Chain A
Amino acid sequence: MNDLFDMPSYLEHSFLGLVGLHLREALVPVLAGLVLALPLAQLCVRFRWLYPPVLWVTTVLYAIPSLAFFVVLIDYTGLSELTVMIPLAVYSLVVLVPAIVDGVRSVPQETLAAATAMGLGPVRRYLQVQLPIAAPAILAGLRVAAVSSISLVSVGMLIGNEGALGNMLDAGLKYNQPRLVWLSVISTAVLAILVDALLIVLRVWVTPWMPRGAGRGTRPVLAKGAAR
């Protein structure tokens, strides 16, 4: 059993070490994307005319293949983690901005009118009403961003061994070790499923106010990120 998870020394990490690295390379960009997406989305809600151009720019960014993105960045950030993480942050941003904008816009007019009439200013209205009600949509966006980010980290194996679990795939192919190939593919998939499940649990936990069963409608569509 131990043999299965034994890592050759040139991978420089234990199996669990690779898992940790993979999570960091995948999820830090998602968080960074979220931090950037929140104010950007709020601007798009506030100034309606801003949303179409923002949507257009983000869609174009999304259309750049990840490998091309990495290669361009090597000139600036070298063969480092950052080269992998920056594109992932951009992809997360692209997924999260429309998710947040749609979520915030889905707040019913009468709810907003009631909040205004009770004397909640714009900041309170955003933090206490719009954001919490948009939470399910934001979490649905986070699921898409997290899962595609986890699968994309592996591509980093092509730029100086920055692919974490993906490095196993690279090594397995180079030294003809099918065990490493399978382990890489399966553990990446399992990681993605676990993180996704965790986000579902988080959603259920933060939205006790949603009708039971209504969450099924917010199942994210993965098609957009599938072709990387």
Chain B
Amino acid sequence: MIRIDSVTKRYPDGTVAVDRLSLEIPDRSITVLVGPSGCGKTTTLRMINRMVEPSEGTILLDGVDIQQQPVNTLRRSMGYVIQNAGLFQHRTILDNIATVPRLLGWGKEKSRARARELMERVGLDGSLAKRYPYQLSGGQQQRVGVARALAADPPVLLMDEPFSAVDPVVRKGLQDELLRIQEELGKTIVFVTHDIDEAVKLGTMVAVMRTGGHLAQFAPPAELLTDPADAFVEDFLGADRGIRRLSFFSSAGLDLLIGPIVAVDASAEQIAAAGRAGAPYLLVVDTDGRPVGWGDPAELAAGAIDTDGLLSHGRPFTAGGDSLRAALDCAVLSPTGWAVAVDGEGRATGVVSQTSIGEAIRGAHAGRATAGTAQKVAP
């Protein structure tokens, strides 16, 4: 565990970047430092690997003051990932990743073998091994940065806005990849960002910092969204924190209707029965049970429904796997106002209206799933 104990950093010019900060960073989970630009996040992170020395206070790693060991030994036991990756432009991808193993004296072959293993782990094609950084996209460079930080299998990973400089689609991919890697490796990660959505998505614990280097709140993301400590945190969370909080409630409890689902080759009686099942439109599915589109029961031709004339069914959500936020989003975007639930194979398992989702949300807020027990589900 990393323990930051009333640490203050005063730069030589008098700037107080961090002010009596105390924080307990739990092992094997992602702790996010989030806050507006200039609030002291980078300074805090860099005090952990002693790139910045605190003016006051101590930082303990597993109970031992980090001042106790040689600084380069400490740094080699902590991976470090930064914005724009900071790759060595004069070294190949493989040699970039092999840097710390080489420093630790692993030998060329072993280091390179390890580097290849990591390329695979972070989702980089092996054919990139002999390339140079300028030949890679920003997203790929960032993956190399993560691989390089993980190369010597350090227990701690420090990440400073690692995904801020890439476009949103690539960023989402990198975030998902980080969560997957973390699931496998269980590192103690300290992650700095100014993006509250990224903080909520990645963090097991989130420390919101305020300009001047003060800690405003330290809590799990769900608690942050439910119960912001003060006006600053509430403001920083943004206007739609209610919606975002739904990310923490599972869609498993929704009342799915299977009545309004008909196959493309449904008979007149089946269509008529489905029409009485409580939905204004019927969801037509193909012979495998996958959704095709919405149709008005009065206009569907028995025996062979004309699929070209159907309304789009929009993006379905995975019942149980996705959150209430995803379900609500599907319903809002659906032309009929009804969301389609599918199973892992993409087969329709039911439909649900906005009204019904709204009831589930009220139930959730009423405490059926409280913040403390909420499990993060895919947003």
Instruction: State the total of A-B contacts with C-beta under 8 angstroms.
Output: 68
From known contacts A118-B100, A209-B89, infer whether A110 and B83 are also in contact, taking CB-CB under 8 Å. Answer: yes
Chain A contacts with B in 95-113, Cβ cutoff 8 A: 108, 110-111, 113
Contact stretch, chosen from B13-21, B72-80, B356-364 = B72-80
Given A209-B134, A211-B134, CB of A118 within 8 Å of CB of B90: no
Main secondary structure of the interface of B (DSSP, over half): mixed
A residues in contact with B71, CB < 8 Å: 119
Q: Known contacts A117-B49, A119-B103, A209-B134: does B90 contact A133 (CB below 8 Å)?
A: yes
Range of interface residues on A (Cβ < 8 Å): 20 to 34
Interface residues of A in 115-150 (CB under 8 A from B): 115-121, 124, 129, 132-133, 135
Give the residue name and chain of the B residue nearest to A212 (CB).
B134
Interface pair B134/A117, CB less than 8 Å apart:
no
Which residue of the partner chain, among B73, B82, B92, contacts A113 with CB atoms under 8 Å? B82
Interfacial chain A residues near B49, Cβ < 8 Å: 117
Q: Chain B residues near A111 (CB, 8 Å)?
A: 86-89
Q: Which residue in A110, A209, A211 is a CB contact (below 8 Å) of B86?
A: A110
Q: With the chains together, A111 CA to B88 CA distance in Å?
A: 6
For the complex, is A59 an interface residue (Cβ under 8 Å from B)? no
Q: Which residue of B lies closest to A206 (CB)?
A: B90
Q: What are the residues of chain B within 8 A of A209 when measuring CB–CB?
A: 89-92, 132-134
Please name all residues of chain B whose beta carbon is closer than 8 Å to the beta carbon of A207 when the two chains form the complex: 90
Give chain B residues whose Cβ lies under 8 Å from the Cβ of A113.
51, 82, 86
CB distance from B122 to the nearest CB of A (A): 16
Assembled-state Cα–Cα distance A135/B76 (Å): 27
Answer yes or no: B354 CB below 8 A from chain A CBs. no
For B75, what are the chain A residues with a Cβ–Cβ distance below 8 Å?
116-119
Q: How far is the CA of A116 from the CA of B80 in the complex (A)?
A: 10
Provide the residues of chain A in CB contact with B92, threshold 8 Å.
Answer: 209
For residue A210, give the distance in angstroms from its CB to the closest CB of chain B: 8
Nearest residue, chain A, Cβ from B76? A119
With an 8 A cutoff between CB atoms, is B267 at the interface?
no
Residue ID in chain A nearest B73 by CB atoms: A119
Chain B residues at the A interface, C-beta cutoff of 8 Å: 49, 51, 71-76, 78, 80, 82-92, 99-100, 103, 132-134, 145, 148, 158
17 A-B contacts (beta carbon < 8 Å): A108-B84, A110-B86, A113-B51, A113-B86, A114-B85, A114-B145, A114-B148, A117-B78, A119-B72, A119-B76, A119-B100, A119-B103, A120-B103, A133-B89, A207-B90, A209-B133, A211-B134
